[in-house]
């Protein structure tokens, strides 16, 4: 594995993903992780991430100085490089000219770390400090117009630093540099594969669960569906899948999900019809956060009632992914057993804490994976493309794609419009071109003319976006003929709609969802 010490960079998670793209396991750890803890983990290499601080700040985060004596190759990125320089006796100072954005890398030594990285390759810079004096034993590997030490190395001790960010997509040749560090310098083997993960996880789940029962709240998304497949392969009938139909899913999805799992995959699903009680909770509610809270609270109530009816269960399975683990310090441990216990559902339902009297032990087989890795596991397990490639869908569902009060009438309008959007995008063969593609219903009406008659009806907003990870997104330049077809069908086929508009706002400043 490669260990990544996180100094607060917005790109730490991205470094981990880039390492894994080389089929080598990586893990993000706090910068406070001691040298002894690292020694016990026995990584093949260590990466120090970037960060927003300056190394000469009074409270700047620092790593354990004993790290440099471990004999493990280290790559410092941006702040990580500056920290390496400072702790090993070099000098870092405020730059006369800061460097942000693209910079041409002038390579002085094209071997070792920079093998196969082209001279004058464009790299992404983001720094206001620079190395002004190298520690003893270090040489410059590359420079830019504004940065004399853009890449450095003590090849004897296998200590390397780069002032730029090789992990971002803007850095041309950045992945080649990462591969050099992983394969040639750290001498890693490409053993982090989907097949290996599936085999090891099935063994671990069987050993952990034994003959106990496991409950999984199934949402129909790629995470919970992949988890259901994985657990069913590991423990069979010891798994109980519960699907709570809260009434906010898209047209025909609940029926399709249950039929798919029970008839095609032979995985039993306990179907809980709860649409009326969820809709009643939203009567008169217009605030989006209040909607989420009420849906979350009602989900907990239904979950508690149904788990008591179907139980008892020893374990709760959750589709927690690695970004959840990185971003959340909300890890709860039972002091008596040392087991993690469930106080939060981290799934598509976006609900709050579970009641404290529901003390399940957690099974989280996907907690080491990023989203793209989950999709690959789903494919390996035989999930159909419609689930594996399903666009992200919010836990509160259509309730937060209806601005204002959610009513049965508005739900029907949005379901019908959204169904047309998905149908036409699939027919055009462009489904995979979008990160998300959906309809939004606004709580206003506008005048229109249909069949020589005046209408006063709702508008539908089309939201089609492109993204790599959902953190940022751009509105998609969808073909006009596709937009025209969608618009014509919605206005002609969906009663209560007389206007379709297209959202051309990127994220930021907007969000992908409207609420």
Listing DSSP states for 283-320 in one string gives TT---HHHHHHHHHHHHHHHHHHHHHHH---SEEE---
Known catalytic residue at 63: no
Alpha-carbon span 465 to 433, nearest angstrom: 9
Known catalytic residue at 305: no
Q: Which residues of 459-479 are buried (b: 16+ CB within 10 A; e: fewer)?
A: bbbbbbbbbeeeeebebbebe
Instruction: Dump the DSSP string for 181-221.
Output: IIIIIS-------HHHHHHHHHHHHHHHHTT--EEEE--SS
What does the alpha-carbon distance between residue 129 and residue 407 come to, in Å, rounded to a whole number? 56
- Show the tokens assigned to 371: 């989203």
Please, which residues have CB within 8 angstroms of residue 77's CB and are 6 or more apart in sequence?
9, 11, 15, 47, 48, 49, 50, 161, 162, 165, 166, 167
Query: At 329, which helix (H) or strand (E)?
Result: none
**Distance (Å, whole) CA 182 – CA 29:** 18
Q: 3-state SS string over 21-55?
A: CCCCCEEEEECCCCHHHHHHHCCCEEEECCCCCCC
Contact in structure between 435 and 448 (CB atoms under 8 Å): no
Residues 372, 378, 382, 388, CA torsion sign? negative
What residues does 463 pair with on adjacent strands? 438
How far apart CA 53 and CA 243 sit, in angstroms, is 46
Identified catalytic residue from 78, 186, 188, 241: 78
From 167, 298, 306, 424, active-site residue: 167
Concerning whether 283 is annotated as a catalytic residue, the answer is: no
Annotated catalytic residue within 63, 99, 143, 165: 165
CA nearest 489: which of 465, 448, 460? 460
Q: What is the CA radius of gyration of the chain?
A: 26
Q: Tokens 């789903």 correspond to what residue?
A: 378
Q: What is the 3-state secondary structure (H, E, C) of 63-127?
A: CCHHHHHCCCCEEEECHHHHHHHHHCCCEEEEEEEEEEEEEEEEECCCCHHHCCCCCCEEEEEEE
Q: What share of the chain is helix, strand, coil (3-state, %, to 5)?
A: 35, 25, 40
Q: Is 229 in contact with 378 (CB distance < 8 Å)?
A: yes
| Alpha helical stretches, state H, 389-427 | 408-427
Tell the residue number behind the tokens 């519960």, with chain if given: 242
Residue numbers annotated as active site? 78, 165, 167
């Amino acid at each position: 594995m490669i260990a990544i010490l996180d100094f607060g960079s917005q790109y730490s998670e991205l470094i981990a993903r880039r390492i894994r793209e080389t089929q080598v396991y990586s893990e993000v750890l706090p910068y406070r992780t001691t040298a002894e803890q690292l020694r016990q983990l026995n990584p093949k290499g260590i990466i120090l991430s970037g960060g927003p601080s300056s190394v000469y700040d009074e409270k700047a985060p620092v790593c354990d100085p004993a790290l440099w004596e471990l004999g493990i190759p280290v790559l410092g990125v941006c702040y990580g490089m500056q920290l390496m320089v400072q702790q090993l006796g070099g000098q870092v100072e405020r730059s006369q000219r800061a460097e942000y954005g693209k910079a041409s890398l002038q390579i002085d030594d094209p071997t070792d770390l920079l093998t196969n990285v082209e001279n004058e390759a464009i790299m992404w810079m983001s720094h206001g400090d620079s190395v002004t004096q190298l520690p003893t034993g270090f040489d410059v590997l590359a420079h830019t117009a504004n940065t004399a030490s853009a890449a450095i190395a003590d090849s004897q001790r296998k200590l390397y630093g780069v002032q730029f960010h090789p992990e971002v997509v803007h850095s041309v040749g950045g992945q080649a540099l990462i591969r050099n560090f992983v394969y040639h310098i750290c001498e890693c083997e490409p053993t982090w594969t989907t097949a290996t993960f599936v085999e090891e996880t099935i063994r671990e789940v069987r050993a952990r669960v034994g003959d106990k029962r496991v409950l999984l709240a199934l949402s129909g998304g790629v995470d919970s569906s992949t988890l259901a497949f994985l657990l069913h392969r590991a423990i069979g009938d010891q798994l109980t899948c519960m699907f709570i139909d809260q009434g906010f899913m898209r047209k025909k999805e609940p029926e399709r999900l249950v039929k798919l799992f029970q008839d095609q995959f032979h995985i039993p699903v306990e179907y809980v019809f709860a649409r009326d009680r969820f809709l009643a909770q939203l009567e008169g509610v217009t605030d989006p956060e209040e909607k989420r809270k009420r849906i979350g609270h009602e989900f907990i109530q239904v979950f508690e009632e149904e788990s008591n009816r179907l139980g008892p269960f020893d374990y709760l399975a959750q589709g927690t992914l690695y970004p959840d683990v990185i971003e959340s310090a909300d890890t709860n441990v039972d002091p008596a057993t040392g087991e993690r216990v469930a106080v939060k559902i981290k799934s598509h339902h976006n609900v709050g804490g579970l009641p404290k009297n529901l003390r399940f032990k957690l099974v989280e087989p996907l907690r080491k994976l990023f989203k793209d890795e989950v999709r690959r596991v789903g494919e390996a397990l035989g999930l159909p493309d419609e689930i594996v490639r399903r666009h992200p869908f919010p836990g509160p569902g259509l309730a937060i794609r209806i601005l204002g009060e959610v009513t049965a009438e508005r739900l029907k309008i949005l379901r019908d419009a959204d169904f047309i959007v998905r149908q036409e995008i699939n027919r055009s063969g462009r489904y995979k071109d979008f990160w998300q593609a959906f309809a939004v219903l606004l709580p206003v009406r506008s005048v229109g003319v249909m069949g020589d008659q005046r209408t006063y009806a709702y508008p539908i907003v089309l939201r089609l976006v492109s993204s790599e990870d959902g953190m940022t997104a751009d509105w998609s330049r969808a073909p006009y003929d596709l937009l025209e077809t969608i618009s014509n069908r919605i206005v002609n086929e969906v009663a209560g709609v007389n206007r379709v508009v297209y959202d051309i706002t990127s994220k930021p400043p907007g969000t992908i969802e409207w609420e």
